[in-house]
Structure 1
Amino acid sequence: MIDIYAPAGTFADPARLATDAATIVKDVEKVPDIAMFRENTAAFIHDAVLADVNGDPSHVRVQVLTNAGALDRDKQLEVVRRLTDLVVSASGNEALARRTWVLLTEATPGGWGLWGHAHTNEELVAAARKELTGGH
Structure 2
Amino acid sequence: MPIIDVYASADLFPAGTDRQLAEALTQAVLRAEGVATPSPVHLDNTAAYIHRLPPEAVHTARAGGARTVRIQVLTPPGVLDRAGQKRLVAEATEIVAKVSGDPSQAARTWVLLTEAAEGGWGIAGTAFGREEFAALAAKTS
Give TM-score scaled by structure 1 length.
0.91
Structure 1: gaps (5+ residues):
none
Aligned to 2:137: 128
Letter of the structure 1 residue corresponding to residue 67 of structure 2: S
Say whether the 8 Å CA contact 1:19–1:42 is kept in structure 2: no
Which digits, 9 at most, give the CA deviation of each residue in 1:87-120, with x for residues without a partner?
Answer: 0000011221110000000000122111122211
Aligned counterpart for 2:50 among listed residues 45, 48, 54? 45
Residue 54, structure 1, aligned to residue 62, structure 2: yes
Instruction: Report deviation, 1:33.
Output: 2.0
Residue 107, structure 1, aligned to residue 116, structure 2: yes
Aligned counterpart for 1:19 among listed residues 17, 23, 26? 23
Aligned counterpart for 1:90 among listed residues 70, 88, 99? 99
CA distance in 2, matches of 1:33, 1:4: 22
CA distance in 1, matches of 2:39, 2:20: 21
Q: Larger deviation: 10-19 or 26-35?
A: 26-35
Aligned to 1:28: 32
- What SS does the aligned partner of 1:68 have? coil
Letter of the structure 1 residue corresponding to residue 7 of structure 2: Y
Which digits, 9 at most, give the CA deviation of each residue in 1:34-55, with x for residues without a partner?
Answer: 1111111121100132111011
Aligned to 1:68: 77
CA distance in 2, matches of 1:126, 1:64: 23
- What SS does the aligned partner of 2:67 have? coil
CA distance in 2, matches of 1:64, 1:19: 14
- What SS does the aligned partner of 1:98 have? helix
Between the aligned residues of both structures, percent identity stands at: 41
Aligned to 2:11: 9
